[in-house]
Amino acid sequence: MPQVRVPRRGSLQYWPRKRSKRAFARVRTWAKSKEAKPLGFAGYKVGMTHLIVNDNRKTSTTKGIDISCPVTIIECPPLKAASIRFYKNMINGSKLVSEIFSENVDKDLGRTLILPKKQKNDEGKIKGIPQDFDYIMLLVHTLPSHTGIGKKKPEVFEIAVGGNKEEQLNYAKSKIGKEINISEVFKEGQQLDIHAVSKGKGVQGPVKRFGISLKQHKTEKSRRNPGSLGGWNAQGHIMWRVAKAGKMGYHLRTEQNKWLLKIGNSNEISKKGGFENYGVIKSNYILVKGSVIGAKKRLIRINEAMRPAKNIPNSPPPIQYINLTKAPV
């Protein structure tokens, strides 16, 4: 029987190879946009299902034919803007020069942040805008109480705003203390970058963690250990490339150019009893083609694509059917 060859697991591209500090991703780079709007959003992973769509890809061999398409459902309740952050570019990186908090802060935000005392503004004017800044970030938080996952503590993170700094300031002032919906940020058919933390799998051996082959049945000592830890002249030093047991998963990863097929509300995808290991969808949701990294109920950061692919159409395929039945065992 021929030997089955598979690529190694545990990519050497990421070093140090360690677990994420928190359960949701940190985004450091944003796509450029001339439109004054948020460049990212977030939602909670519900699970997967499949659609029947009419293939509209120009170069596809199934063009114009109804095909099955696997999709991931992500529930996207509104984000609420808690503050405006002003940044200045310095020699050694960006520096936060000022921050303006909203007056009507959500009460659940106090579960995550120490909220500042309320300050009275004169005649509705916003105090604290610096004279010199280079760009603006919106500090937003999620509203998990709008979902059915049974969670109250919100996640807090920054999102970038498109346009020049004057347009960014005008948009931020119009949105501070208000909710931002998914339909204001993205449209159906565009490409997304997904930032999330993968599933944690605990401590695993080198066979599962790195995909090394099992030794033959007559081997000495363990069968699931690597055959060699290094050269004899290494003086007891073991290279980091050697496959060893350790914690696996819970890594921060990015998936590029995911196709956004649909933005809808909860009435369109209601399911009796809710979705397995998630519950009932109560807010807006999106359908993204293919799988998405992370466990169910985990926060998924969704951004505009940095380098969109040319072979993906700008319009979504017509959806004929959404499967909401329970998967067979």
Domains of the chain by residue range? 25-32+41-77+182-214+243-329, 79-180
The per-residue pLDDT for range 174-231, each reduced to its tens digit, is 999 999 999 999 999 999 999 999 999 999 999 999 999 899 988 888 999 999 898 8
Q: What CATH number does the domain located at 79-180 have?
A: 3.30.1430.10
Peptide bond into 16 cis (omega under 30): yes
Mean pLDDT of 50-63: 94
Helices within the chain (DSSP H only) = 165-175, 206-210
pLDDT band for position 14 (cuts 50, 70, 90): confident
What pLDDT is stored for residue 329 in this prediction?
A: 39
Confidence class of residue 126 from pLDDT cuts 50, 70 and 90?
low
Q: Which residues contact 90 (CB under 8 A, 6 or more apart)?
A: none
By three-state DSSP, how is residue 96 classified? strand
Q: What is the pLDDT of residue 294?
A: 96
Give yes or no for residue 7 having a pLDDT over 90.
no
Q: What is the DSSP string of 205-251?
A: -HHHHH-PPPPPTT-SS-SSS-S-SS-GGGTT---TTS---EEEE--
pLDDT at 123 over 50: no
Residue 236: left if φ>0, alpha if ψ -120 to 50, beta else—which one?
A: left
Predicted pLDDT at 268: 87
Could you give the CA distance from residue 189 to residue 314 in angstroms, rounded to a whole number?
5
Q: What does each C-alpha distance from 168 to 99, 139, 323 come to in angstroms? A: 14, 13, 41
Of 7 and 148, the structure prediction assigns the larger pLDDT to 148
Residue 4: pLDDT band (50, 70, 90) is confident
CA dist 6 and 39 (Å) reads 38
Instruction: State the pLDDT confidence band at 107, using cuts at 50, 70 and 90.
Output: confident
Give the three-class secondary structure for 86: strand
Side chain identity at 68, as an amino acid letter? S
What pLDDT digit, counting tens, does each position of 231-274 carry? 888 778 898 889 999 999 999 999 999 999 999 998 888 888 88
Query: For the domain 25-32+41-77+182-214+243-329, what is the CATH code?
Result: 2.40.30.10
